[in-house]
Amino acid sequence: MIGILIKNNEKTLFTGLPKETEKLEKQLAGIGLNVPLQEVNLSNHNDIGYELEIYAQSQIDMEVASRIILHDNIGQLNDLMLYISQGDSDKMNDRICESHAETISDLYSELTTPPEIETTDKLVIRTTMNYKANFYEPADCIVEKAIAIPHEEYSALINITDNCYDFIADNQECMYYDRLAELKYSHCTYNDVNQKSELLKSLIDNRNQLNTLDIGLLRSCVKRITVSHSCVIEAEFTNGVIIKNETERSDDNGSGSKCKDNPCQATSN
């Protein structure tokens, strides 16, 4: 975040960028600058009638501030900082530090212009394929494999994207993020833990406590159950969550594994 200190007559404003355009305009109006953001110059000279100082905190802030030139305005700077804030901080830092742009307008154009795609024998699309991503900055993705699915399954996929689909699970090896090719291409990632957790919730919600075993529900919710020699029971649910009892069977807790007075002989009919 870049700090801006503006002194206009006897009023002072200190604010940080980026900020919503309407909110920033109201702040400027509060110190008597009732003009569009594009008319608020960032350079101190005798014609502007106010004093302005810029404070850079991080490496990205300093890189941006070093590119401010005469007649750049606060609207340009706010747009640039807003775009930077919406991207991955590490990637943005690398791109800005490596940039040869000399002004903030050139830097903004460079960051928002899609990079040239190298020739490849595979289809490349520009999109984002992360599940519930925190931000949606497009990246170049290579299509490793294309499969044909029935129209009904495709319609279900585009209408309910969070469901678990066998044709996706069966092709997980083609969906990965290659760190070595990070600067060239991204491969879509697939993780169905969240979908399976939501499915479990839908199966369990609104069900009353059962006094008998529901085999169908058990098979739908539990992947495996293991019982150790000391009777520690461990259940793994379909979303990967594991629960187990911590009380082992022993001779000291009244439920020993050895037969005491009972000969433990099976009765024959």
pLDDT, tens digit, for every residue of 82-125?
A: 999 888 888 888 889 888 899 999 999 988 886 665 555 666 66
User: What CA–CA distance (Å, rounded) separates 110 from 80?
Assistant: 11
Residue 262 reports pLDDT greater than 90: no
Tokens (6 digits) for 78: 């706010």
DSSP string, 175-215: ----GGGTTT-B------HHHHHHHHHHHHTTPPPPSS--H
Predicted structure pTM score: 0.45
Pairing assessment for the beta strands 11-17 and 51-55 based on DSSP bridges? unpaired
pLDDT value of residue 268: 43
- Mean confidence (pLDDT) of the chain: 77
Tokens (6 digits) for 240: 């990967």
CA distances from 54 to 8, 18, 127, 131, 261 (A): 15, 13, 35, 38, 87
> Is pLDDT larger for residue 11 or for residue 121?
11
